[in-house]
Chain A
Amino acid sequence: MIKQDIIICRCEEITLIEIIQAIKEGAKDINGVKRRTRAGMGLCQGRTCEKLIRQILQKELKKFPEDIKIGTDRPPIKPVTFGELGGKDH
Chain B
Amino acid sequence: MTEHVLDELEAYALGALDRAEAERIAQHLSTCASCRKDAAALAEIVDALPDTVALREPRPALRERLLQAARTETRLPLRGGVSRRWSLALVRPWRLAIAAVGAAVIVLGAADVDAYRRLVAVTAERDAYNKTMESIREGARTWYMAGLDSFNGSGGTLYDPRAAGKQPFVLFHDLPPIAQDKVLTIWLVSPDSTWARAATFRPSGQDIQVVEISSEVAGFDRCAVTLDDSPWGKHGTIVMESRIAPPTPP
Same assembly: no
- Chain B interface (Cβ < 8 Å from any Cβ of A): none
- Chain A interface (Cβ < 8 Å from any Cβ of B): none
